[in-house]
Amino acid sequence: MQFTRDQVSEAVNGGADLVIGALSLGEQDSDAVNLVANAIMTRLENPDADFSTVIADNYASTEEEVRSWWSDWS
């Protein structure tokens, strides 16, 4: 069975939304789940993509800014 990119994206993002909703995740946790979803979709098209590439492809923020979203976690 083959899937289109749109079908994979819908499944990945739908799964992320399902987990976020079912666990009533806060903003930081939701952002982490969405970052993973974005990394999956980036690696689907570019299997060698690194974290910097994921950020560049999906966010208007710099890698340092994205990392800072979790700097206050303990």
Q: What is the pLDDT of residue 68?
A: 92
Neighbouring C-beta atoms of residue 42, cutoff 10 Å: 19
| HEC per residue, the chain | CCCCHHHHHHHHHHHHHHHHHHCCCCHHHHHHHHHHHHHHHHHHHCCCCCHHHHHHHHCCCCHHHHHHCCCCCC
- Residue 73 clears pLDDT 90, i.e. is over it: no
Tokens representing 45 are 């098209």
Q: What is the pLDDT of residue 55?
A: 98
| Domains of the chain by residue range | 5-67
| Threshold 0.75, pTM exceeds | yes
pLDDT tens for residues 9-23? 999 999 999 999 999
Residues 6 or more apart whose CB falls under 8 angstroms from that of 58 comprise 38, 41, 42
